[in-house]
Structure 1
Amino acid sequence: MRKEYDFSKATKNPYAKFFKKQVTIRLDEATIKYFKKMADELGMPYQTIINLYLRDCAATARRLSINWKPAA
């Protein structure tokens, strides 16, 4: 490795806006187990499958329907 590098002529990566951003999300064990099982069947990382599913939801503007039952 060099002791110093010259970045004076460097350009910004034009694809940087397409990179993924790391976030922390809390998922229950059953959900993780479901996606890990699917990942084993498909031969791909479960994080990728979750990302693809969420991307599909966002692209199709899918909305979650929640019906809360009032506490008795």
Structure 2
Amino acid sequence: MYEKFKDYDFADAKPVAKIPALAQLQAESGGKSRITMRVDNSILAAFKTRAATTGGSYQNMMNEALKQFIQGQALEDVVRQTIQQELRSHG
């Protein structure tokens, strides 16, 4: 697929964020952004533990929890639903 670009030299290429039109296009396309954020150690540990037991990705789980919150589900509902799912899968 990328074979036709193998001889291109991208050493001087600008990152997408430095080109406003491309940055806007990327934001509108619904892709994901790499960010740095601080969370409580206990929160991170809980997501990592759950990911290890379910074989998922803790980052995807955190993204899903945030998505559900934005879509109107209260955090309490997300936690309740997650606990119920865990109890069903281990019970």
Between Structure 1 and Structure 2, which shows a larger proportion of helix residues?
Answer: 2
| Alignment RMSD | 2.5
Q: Equivalent residue for 2:30?
A: 18
Structure 1 stretches of at least 4 aligned residues deviating more than 3 Å after TM superposition: 61-64
Q: How many residues get paired?
A: 55
In structure 1, list runs of 5 or more residues that go unmatched: 5-11, 65-72
Q: CA deviation at 1:2?
A: 2.1
1:2 corresponds to 2:7: yes
- TM-score computed with the length of structure 1 as normaliser: 0.62
In structure 2, list runs of 5 or more residues that go unmatched: 1-5, 10-21, 77-91
